[in-house]
Amino acid sequence: MRTSEMIRQAIADKPTGAVFSSADFLSVGSRAAVDQALLRMMRTGTIERVARGLYAEAGQHLDAQTVARALAQKTGERVGLAPSAGPNDLLVVPTSGLSRTVKAAGHTVQFRRMSQTKVQLAASPKGKTLLEFWTQGIKNLTTLEIQRATGDWMQGEIDSYAALIPAWLRTAIQQANTPRKSIKMGLSGAYDWSNPNIKDDVLIGKVLEKHKFEDVARLCFYYGVPKVKRVFKRRAFEPMTSATVTRMLRNISKGLRVPQEHAHA
């Protein structure tokens, strides 16, 4: 079989949208023979040039990330997934090589030199998310944003990136995904929905203000009646609320003493 025919067959076997170079076909002929065959195929419209030394089947839409990886493969540099999209369909790609902008196959690819750690992060979808958070910085991140992005990650997945991200980001992820106190206690409402790191005394005060018996009881089981009473005495409530909570705490205290009395009987 002729070199050109073997190259045509090899190209047909590649996935749709693949980018290739002369080096991919050196097993079927000399460099000169491969280059000549590709040149003839380009002249007949079978393939088209994507960038210098890179080709694809004619008429196919090429994914920008595929183009970026093909460009990087020529130089041997490591690249990651694009952490962000810029204006005018600009694809920003982390790279271990030189920073540069390349136009190929209708795409503008900006290779941005980054540390090996950031390039390694950008090599996977989850790592890419962490790199975006890192780039935003702690002042521009919200707990809700972190929860939405990492809430369904397994603990092992988060741990696998621990050595690649700054300590402040690890802490932010841990705090964002720590079960809220209202969930831990089984409270009927999300009293701490706006502040997952709510202080104990503030949470107790919010629950007492609503004075739902089952929630007040859970507070007492979790913190102990004495602590709940101390917070209650320090806060000012409406007379009706104060009377209701006083009655609840008295009944809960009695209920908790009964099992203890039976145990010592």
| 198 shares its domain with 233 | yes
Which residues neighbour 192 within 8 Å (Cβ) at sequence distance 6 or greater? 180, 181, 182, 198, 203, 206
Q: Domain end: 57, 77, 95, which one?
A: 57
pLDDT band at 44 (very low <50, low <70, confident <90, very high): very high
Helices (H) and strands (E) in the chain, counts: 13, 6
pLDDT above 50 (res 264): no
| Residue 261 vs residue 157, higher pLDDT | 157
| 173 shares its domain with 151 | yes
What pLDDT, in 10s, does the model give residues 70-111? 888 888 888 887 655 555 567 888 888 889 888 888 788 888
| 190 shares its domain with 260 | yes
Backbone angles phi, psi at 113, to 5 degrees: -65, 130
The pLDDT value given to residue 263: 46
Cα distance between residue 42 and residue 34, in whole Å: 12
Please report, for the domain that includes residue 30, its CATH number. 1.10.10
Q: For the chain, how many structural domains are there in total? A: 4
pLDDT above 90 (res 112): no
The pLDDT value given to residue 46: 92
The pLDDT value given to residue 175: 79
What pLDDT, in 10s, does the model give residues 185-210? 889 988 887 777 789 999 999 999 99
The pLDDT value given to residue 265: 44
pLDDT band at 45 (very low <50, low <70, confident <90, very high): very high
Backbone angles phi, psi at 105, to 5 degrees: 55, 35
pTM metric for this prediction: 0.53
| 17 shares its domain with 78 | no
What pLDDT, in 10s, does the model give residues 114-160? 898 998 898 889 998 999 999 899 889 888 899 889 988 888 888 89
Nearest one of 129, 116, 114, 123 to 173, comparing CA atoms: 129
| 193 shares its domain with 246 | yes
Q: What letter would DSSP give residue 29?
A: S
Tokens 């995904």 map to which residue?
Answer: 177
Expressed in angstroms, the distance from the first to the final Cα of the chain is 98
Residues β-bridged to residue 151: none
Task: Give the residue-averaged pLDDT of 31-39.
Answer: 92
Q: Domain end: 115, 132, 154, which one?
A: 115
Q: Domain end: 14, 36, 57, which one?
A: 57
What pLDDT, in 10s, does the model give residues 161-184? 999 999 999 988 887 887 778 888
| 130 shares its domain with 109 | no
The pLDDT value given to residue 51: 87
| 194 shares its domain with 257 | yes
What is the average pLDDT value for the chain, to the nearest integer?
86
| 193 shares its domain with 253 | yes
Full domain range(s) for residue 128: 124-177
Task: Give the residue-averaged pLDDT of 13-38.
Answer: 90
| 210 shares its domain with 240 | yes
Q: Is 144 left (phi over 0), alpha (psi -120 to 50) or beta?
A: alpha
